Amino acid sequence: MAEQFPPAASVQTPDGSDARGAERERDSRDGSVRASGSGQSDRIPQETEPRRRGGADFRRPPFHRQSYAAIDLGTNNCRLLIARPSGENFVVIDAFSRVVRLGEGLAQNGCLSQQAMDRALGALKVCADKLRRRNVYLARSVATEACRRADNGEEFIDRVRRETGIALDIISAREEARLAVLGCHVLLEPGRGPAVIFDIGGGSTELVLIESTDTVPRILDWLSVPWGVVSLTESSGPEGGDACSRVARYERMRSLVSDSFAAFAERSSPVRSDAAARGPLRLLGTSGTVTTLASLHLDLPQYDRRAVDGLIVPSESMRDISTRLSGMSLDERRELPCIGRERADLVVAGCAILEAILDLWPADRLGVADRGIREGILRSLISAHGQGEKMRAEVRKQRGQGSR
């Protein structure tokens, strides 16, 4: 039986209050979706329509000039996007990303360390300053696997709100998968029938089996496992001093992840066979792992989002790069462009997860997305609020006609 969708998400307004609203039925290519209640297949539900505290509205700029923000605090990174509506899409007016390693040591201790929380808080203070300077009208801020798993996750969320004013929402793994699909599905190769979209994070990996429609994908099945680049790296022990030891560690990583995918692989097997009979399997990944490996595939001297986002890469090339990286020493990986010191110790775990996904869904080509949860949040906020603006305009128009 399919799970019920999570309740309408909380969003923040400029006065600091929380706003909630209901899902509305609408089809659109910009990320709005048709909401459903239950059933074997679910459409991704639309986000919330805000209400003002006390029912009062306040003076605000026209819809297309309002700024919206999305913050994604993950196990490894803190990311912010601020955007304004532009037709059926949006234009980014500010962005921020910092490696904070919030989940560092979580696998061993079960808690967020003081140093990790301080790093994340420093990044969130930067985000809060940008929200104020950009006069953001509506924002949603989410925290994922590290805060879900940590015994002191809620305490950290309370501290963030006290010290920055940012109200982080610890979202479920299902909501995380939903937002990732909503943010990147437009980059999936054209075609009908089932496909897989995945997100390799710092503390978890989400697999989503979808079926393409004329608007947003319909979710057929999904899985979240507690293996991301940070959690898998920390659980696998130190790297060996020679290439053979490193390769053996890499194979253990692949096996561990493959085992965690086993139930999903069994459930999706008939769908995969049916999809393969229709044509090439389609696969799209959104994560630092796939964008980093895509950069190595292109032999870029430094990371270039414009070259990577939307790229289609032969899966065999990604496997070859993964195999090469798995045998390298940490110092050797640090010298590679687009990896550097921040990713050098984590990229091997990402490669192991990616290869396990390619084993499960053996597509010949892999789509690469440098977008995901933040974009999904923005599409949800802008779409829901835009629909609300249209409804309010229609009510005002009807009232005006009735007064004559």
- pLDDT for residue 392: 58
**β partners of residue 147:** none
Homologous superfamily in CATH for domain 11-171 = ATPase, nucleotide binding domain (3.30.420.40)
- pLDDT for residue 384: 80
- pLDDT for residue 56: 38
- pLDDT for residue 369: 97
- How do 168-170 and 138-143 pair as beta strands? parallel
Q: Render each residue's pLDDT in the chain as its tens digit; 404 residues.
A: 232 223 333 344 434 444 333 232 222 323 322 222 223 333 333 333 333 333 334 445 555 578 999 999 999 999 999 999 987 789 999 999 999 999 999 989 999 999 999 999 999 999 999 999 999 999 999 999 999 999 999 999 999 999 999 999 999 999 999 999 999 999 999 987 899 999 999 999 999 999 988 888 899 999 999 999 999 999 999 998 899 999 999 999 999 999 999 999 999 999 999 999 888 999 999 999 999 999 999 999 999 999 999 999 999 999 999 999 999 999 999 999 899 888 899 999 999 999 999 999 999 999 999 999 999 999 999 888 756 555 555 655 666 666 55
Which pTM value belongs to this model? 0.81
Residue the block writes with tokens 């390619």: 358
Coil vs helix vs strand at 218? strand
Distance separating alpha carbons of residues 286 and 186, to the nearest angstrom: 12
Q: Give the helix ranges, DSSP H, for 75-152.
A: 106-109, 114-133, 145-149
Phi, psi of 274 (to 5 degrees): -65, -40
Closest CA to 15 of 44, 67, 58: 58
Closest CA to 257 of 140, 328, 357: 357
Phi, psi of 115 (to 5 degrees): -65, -40
- pLDDT for residue 390: 55
Distance separating alpha carbons of residues 25 and 228, to the nearest angstrom: 34
Indicate the domain borders of the chain: 11-171, 187-371
Distance separating alpha carbons of residues 329 and 386, to the nearest angstrom: 51
- pLDDT for residue 396: 59
Tokens representing 142 are 């989410």
- Centre a 10 Å sphere on the Cβ of residue 152 and count the other Cβ atoms it contains: 17
Question: Pseudo-torsion of CA 106, 109, 115, 117, nearest 10°?
Answer: 50
187-371: CATH, from 3.30.1330.10, 3.40.50.300, 3.30.70.270, 3.30.420.150:
3.30.420.150
Tokens representing 25 are 């039925």
